[in-house]
Amino acid sequence: MNKALSFVILYCSFVFSLPVKKKEERPNANLNYTLHATIKEVSKGDYLLIPQQWTAEAKSWNFTEERFHAKEFFKTLLEDKIENKKCFAFLTGIATGNFDDRTMSAEFGRFGLQHIMAISGFHFSMIAFFLSIFLRLFLHPKHAALSIVALLSFYFVFLGLSSSILRAWIASTLFFLGQFLGRSSSPLNSLGFALLAILLLDPMMTLNLGFQFSFLATGAILFFYSPTEKGLSKWLPKRTLEEVLQFSLFTQHAYFFVSILRQALALSIAVNLTTLPLSLLVFHKFPLLSFLYNIFFPFLVSISMLLLLIGLCTFWIKPISMLLFSLNNSFTGWMLNLLYYLPLNGDIWIRVRWITPEFLILYFSALLFLGMYLKTRQQEIRSSFAWI
């Protein structure tokens, strides 16, 4: 092995996926291991690391092993409550962040819904929304905000560290700490703070696709959601409360549906401004059905998550919890069937190979300046007492 190769191996970290075999025990995550392996040159500049033997060394202090057992315990809680295996895999995955069902991952990928399977701001906001409503029934708003920070921090430790989870936890924590201190918070500043924290913690996270998609999508929402919704209001106009109350009951329901549709369209357009070009660069293709499914499917997932949260909170009241779990089992099964049973001949893909990293840098730079321009036009004068 030459010196250059030794240097590369020394400063690179590897992630190993161990095959699951009933005859072999899982390596304990609280131990350090020495890996004996050989390196084979596959082609010029490309090397294959072939593990041969693991040797357990001294114990390491971390939450990995405890986190694994906590997630397994959570799975056992739901195992006899959710009868449908697909629903069980989805609900445990959406709660723990571990999706082991490869078929489900492939089905979500068909419709460009992989982001739902990654714990991010969407999941944290749903949990924070539920906790905020529940805790404010019993606690003062400031005490409720501090309790939410503690519970979200516990959930963060339970999930484990990843760029999207860390970003979502930092943003949520800053928001509720601002409420506790009686100060407002800027979403853009919170996003920048999360970016700085990740760069200080582990700069190599920037090479992770999850990091790139997470920050690009969040930045796009903060910059372009409001202008996009304002533009859509020309075709799907907003109404005042007084105007809505004068409508018939049917028209009121129709207006509610149109409002949800306008917001979903604005969100989808804003997110795809950044994620679509990046997807085409990385995967060279993008499913057209993603535009349709991302309008309504996250809303359905939020209902499934809400039913799961309420079911867990009423876990000791068996009649109510069993009713909620049964309802969630039926609803989530129906929701997943929207993915599993769509014929393959309905899949249409955008395929592009001309997008290059250089083009993407220019595109994102132009998009950033456009977003800053639109933001400054709409930005109201903020209070000098802003938290961050």
pLDDT value for 363: 93
Query: Phi-psi bin for 316: left (phi > 0), alpha (psi -120 to 50), beta?
Result: alpha
pLDDT value for 153: 92
pLDDT value for 382: 44
And the tokens for 45? Answer: 């500049």
C-beta separation of 293 from 348 below 8 A: no
Q: Where are the domains of the chain?
A: 13-61, 67-378
pLDDT digits (tens, 9 = 90+) for 219-242: 999 899 989 998 888 888 888 878
pLDDT value for 17: 52
pLDDT digits (tens, 9 = 90+) for 18-72: 555 555 566 777 777 787 778 887 777 777 777 777 777 777 777 788 888 889 8
Pairing of strands 285-287, 31-43: unpaired
pLDDT beneath 50: ranges in the chain: 1-14, 380-388
pLDDT value for 331: 95
pLDDT value for 1: 40
Put simply, whether the predicted model's pTM sits higher than 0.85 gets the answer no
Pairing of strands 46-59, 31-43: antiparallel
In degrees and rounded to multiples of 5, residue 171 shows phi and psi of -60, -45
pLDDT value for 238: 84
pLDDT value for 20: 52
